[in-house]
């Protein structure tokens, strides 16, 4: 790994060496830093302070002190500040697109179309909701008041760095909560710019706080802190269990969005060419680093050969290349550990008897954490690659004989985050979707929707984000009688 000076494609992030606590940019007290690596080049492109539990304590106390005023700030004023944040976010588009391409390896086109566009969508949707949200109403003779829960501790992942930040922070601010954010130490630079955006929009001191650092130090301190009323975590199931354990000591609310192993059921009457092609593209979205990626493709047994042919053709259109050239449709996986993990899964799939249709575990480039787009067939439900989340561009094709069997295979998972169904009609697809034990199901390639609740069943977590449901997670309900 080599360190390089900033190139024309590198954005200098002014406050990368600092936390943002109580409305001030402050140096880290540990004097230690965490390097940020461009996974396309393996070069160090930035650094952030390695935070401590005492810095979390300072941030939580600042958020607690700011809560009384912010929670009572008129909705119209909160709305004005959020609208200003939207405009400030738009003004930093070029910086954010390049920073996210640089810190996580996303191709520039995808960084603009998803990594920038998704958080912007969340911010704009939140302002729409806030304009008409009923914090007080009467139902069945009872006066009900929805109040901000308090201080939110937000712990976010690296695969969609600002999308997950916005999903937690913006509804929190809109509902009158204050926030302590710990972004992933893998992709922390975009969150520095996000903090600059909120500062420029006039978010009062202490209402939003940013503490950089690793999970065992900063994340665990947030989860267990007595001044934090809600911890909202997105990440691995293993880490989510640890967050729940620590949070239980103070009986705070916990929302978790964890792993997934989503099934894509392609029915006999579906447009097979479109379904298989889209299924490959969905699996490879963000280089397969999406918790709801349709990584298990279920096809009728009699049409397996056809599915293999289409999937091979679709997969081989994806070519790994450096993220910042603006041309490659498939960036690297974001960490070196992730690279080794994905390659081990591919090797394990071969060892367990799956048929390698295309791809493999060999390096896809001389430098960078690039993985060959891979398709397995002949996968059975008990194989490791059919059960565990790989988080890379690896598709498993399974077969079924009846629709009941397809649903049973789809539900035979410890996860329940997402699902896909392809059918000859939306109505037929919905009948299958209703039987799938998952938080979301996309029929015939439907697009995401900013008002659709997002979250999972089983070990994919609890709670829901997006739209009105993101607001509800940040609120307590009070009944006033008489």
What is the CA angle 273-277-281, rounded to 5? 165
CA separation, residue 75 to residues 81, 132, 133, 390 (Å): 10, 10, 9, 43
**Helical residues (DSSP H) of 159-206, grouped into ranges:** 161-174, 189-201
- Token readout for 363 is 């390096």
DSSP 465: B
DSSP 303: G
Q: Catalytic site residues? A: 257, 291
- Token readout for 406 is 């397809």
Instruction: Residue count of the chain, please give it.
Output: 482
DSSP 330: B
Helix (H) / strand (E) element for 410: namely helix 403-411
Calpha distance 338→225 (Å, rounded): 30
List of residues 6+ apart from 259 with CB closer than 8 A: 236, 237, 291, 389, 415, 417, 459, 460
232 with 255: CB under 8 angstroms?
yes
**Rg, C-alpha atoms of the chain:** 22
Residue with tokens 């259109």: 317
What is the CA angle 31-151-255, rounded to 5? 100
- Token readout for 263 is 């099934």
Q: Which residues of 185-211 are buried (b: 16+ CB within 10 A; e: fewer)?
A: bbbbbbbbbbbbbbbebebeebbbbbb
């Amino acid at each position: 790994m080599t360190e390089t000076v900033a190139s024309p494609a590198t954005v200098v992030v002014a406050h990368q060496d600092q936390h943002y606590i109580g409305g001030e940019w402050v140096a880290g007290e540990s004097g230690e830093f965490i390097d940020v690596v461009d996974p396309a080049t393996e070069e160090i492109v930035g650094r952030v302070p390695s935070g401590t539990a005492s810095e979390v304590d300072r941030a939580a106390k600042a958020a607690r002190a700011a809560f009384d005023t912010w929670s009572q700030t008129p909705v119209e004023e909160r709305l004005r500040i959020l609208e200003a944040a939207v405009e400030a976010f738009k003004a930093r588009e070029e910086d954010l697109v390049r920073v996210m391409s640089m810190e996580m390896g996303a191709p520039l086109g995808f960084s603009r179309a998803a990594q920038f566009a998704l958080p912007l969508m969340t911010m704009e949707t939140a302002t729409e909701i806030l304009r008409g949200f009923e914090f007080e109403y009467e139902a069945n003779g009872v006066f009900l008041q929805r109040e901000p829960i308090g201080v939110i501790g937000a712990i976010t992942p690296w695969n969609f760095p600002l999308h997950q930040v916005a999903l937690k922070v913006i509804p929190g601010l809109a509902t009158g909560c204050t926030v302590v954010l710990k972004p992933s130490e893998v992709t922390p630079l975009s969150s520095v710019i996000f903090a600059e955006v909120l500062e420029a929009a006039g978010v009062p001191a202490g209402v939003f706080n940013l503490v950089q650092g690793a999970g065992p130090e900063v994340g665990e301190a947030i989860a267990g802190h007595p001044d934090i009323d809600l911890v909202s975590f997105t990440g691995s199931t293993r880490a989510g269990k640890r967050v729940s354990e620590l949070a239980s000591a103070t009986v705070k609310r916990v929302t978790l969005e964890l792993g997934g192993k989503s099934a894509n059921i392609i029915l006999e009457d579906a447009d097979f060419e479109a379904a298989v092609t889209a299924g490959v593209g969905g699996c490879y979205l963000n280089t397969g680093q999406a918790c709801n990626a349709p990584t298990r493709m279920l096809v009728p047994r009699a049409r397996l050969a056809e599915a293999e042919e289409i999937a091979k053709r679709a997969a081989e259109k994806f070519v790994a290349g450096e993220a910042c050239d603006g041309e490659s449709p498939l960036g690297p996986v974001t960490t070196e550990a992730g690279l080794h993990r994905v390659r081990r899964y591919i090797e394990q799939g071969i060892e367990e008897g799956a048929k390698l249709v295309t791809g493999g575990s060999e390096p896809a480039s001389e430098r960078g954490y690039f993985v060959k787009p891979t398709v397995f067939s002949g996968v059975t439900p008990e194989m490791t690659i059919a059960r565990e989340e790989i988080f890379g561009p690896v598709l498993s094709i399974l077969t079924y004989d009846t629709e009941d069997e397809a649903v049973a295979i789809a539900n035979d998972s410890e996860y329940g985050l997402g699902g896909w169904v392809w059918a000859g009609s939306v109505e037929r697809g919905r009948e299958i979707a209703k039987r799938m034990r998952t938080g979301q199901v996309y029929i015939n390639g439907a697009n995401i929707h900013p008002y659709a609740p997002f979250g999972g069943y089983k070990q994919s977590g609890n709670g829901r984000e997006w739209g009105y449901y993101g607001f509800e997670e940040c609120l307590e309900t009070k009944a006033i009688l008489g």
